[in-house]
Amino acid sequence: MDSVYNSKNECYGCSSCVQVCPSQAISFEKDSEGFLYPEIDISKCTDCGLCRKSCPIYKSPVALPSKEYPEVYALWNKSETIRSSSTSGGVFTALATKILSEGGVVFGVAFDKSFKAVHVGVDSADQLGLLRGSKYTQSLVGDSYKKVKEVLIKNTKVLFSGTPCQISGLYSYLGKEYSNLFTCDCVCHGVPSPGVFELYKEHLQKLYNSEIETFSFRNKSKSWKAYHVCVTFKNGKQVLTSFKEDPYMIGFIKNMYLRPSCHTCKYASLNRQSDVTLADFWGVDKFYPELDDDKGTSLLLINTPKGAELLQRCENELAMHKCDLSKATKENPSLTGPATPNKLRLKFFNQMGKCDFAAMQTKFLRPTSKIQVIMRKCVSFPKRCIKVTLRKLTS
């Protein structure tokens, strides 16, 4: 077999094929954009076909179990300490703590010593802090699927969290249902290039003349909605930058360097593959202002009876309010469709190997000016007027 996938636009990089290969013929190799793709060593390949059988590319998303799902909640952790240290409302910590209290293992994304995002498993509440907080770069799943299976066959409970495609990759790898497996996906805008994140970190360390000591994409000490990127350095310096001004976050939000498959993602829909789906409840201040104190309100979708059961076991730790699905999707566009690639994406990557991050920032990653905001509003206003008029004419 020459390749697991037909096109880079298909491959999610979940690593199911790498982990399932019995002859270790598949390895992940970095491309010019900094993303990892599976490559087959033909000399080792026995053409068994297991890689394609375990690949989510070749499987259709599983439909929700009934019309009762998804159930929609706005919620947050009752512990102010946990809530303040979490990206959103601290709901993942409540779910994970429950699994751990029952002797289970929780898998999620942590930063390693060099601040690369990697999937790890933890078996104690003391380690949960590693998994808190958003990591806006594609995580390396490594051999996590193998480890999950090893734990499951011992009849130990597992909570696995990740992007929707990583959840689908896990199910494909396992090839069967496990009653002791619980899954939690995040509403994913898309995964940015780990190669770009490496350049960004190198830029920061050069700029502040020190190695990075801690990194937080979503510091909400000033505000949950207007969050900041917070970086501390070993020389004692701390830098707090609004997400609207941080160059890396600007590129992420503008879809400048997402994985190609993110732009055609079949999991960016309400037909979720996991037991529960977590997100920030953007728009809660408009639709449910009584549930917004700017400390972090989570959006939770319950997609299966197993997910409902897990939430019920955590209800004492959470402040929960049932909500309307249509309102939940209004300002969470990744729930209803994939991100559109930036028109300058190819130019960005063509320049990436020729320029340092500072030059890339000047060319591609500058904050939107007030004039640009005004011009966009002027352009979009007539379109909105036309839509409203047409709606009235057809009603």
**pLDDT value of residue 6:** 87
Q: Calculate helix-pair angle for 305-313, 91-101, nearest 10 degrees.
A: 90
**pLDDT value of residue 371:** 55
Distance CA(262)–CA(348), nearest Å, equals 17
**pLDDT value of residue 222:** 94
Distance CA(253)–CA(309), nearest Å, equals 34
Mean pLDDT by 10-residue block, N- to C-terminus, for the chain (395 residues)?
Answer: 86 97 96 96 95 93 90 98 95 98 98 97 95 95 97 98 97 96 96 97 97 97 96 97 98 98 96 96 97 97 97 97 96 95 97 92 86 54 58 56
- Tokens describing residue 30: 């970095």
**pLDDT value of residue 374:** 58
Beta strands 318-322 and 71-77 are antiparallel
In angstroms, the Cα distances linking 343 to 256, 348, 363 are 8, 10, 14
**pLDDT value of residue 394:** 56
Q: In angstroms, how far is the first alpha carbon of the chain from the final one?
A: 56
Beta bridge partners of 63: none
Domains of the chain in sequence order? 16-58 (3.30.70.20), 71-192+258-335 (3.40.640), 194-256+339-369 (no CATH)
> Which residue shows structure tokens 């790890």?
120
- Residues whose CB is less than 8 angstroms from the CB of residue 302 and which lie 6 or more positions away in sequence, other chains included: 69, 70, 71, 72, 73, 275, 276, 308, 311
**pLDDT value of residue 2:** 75
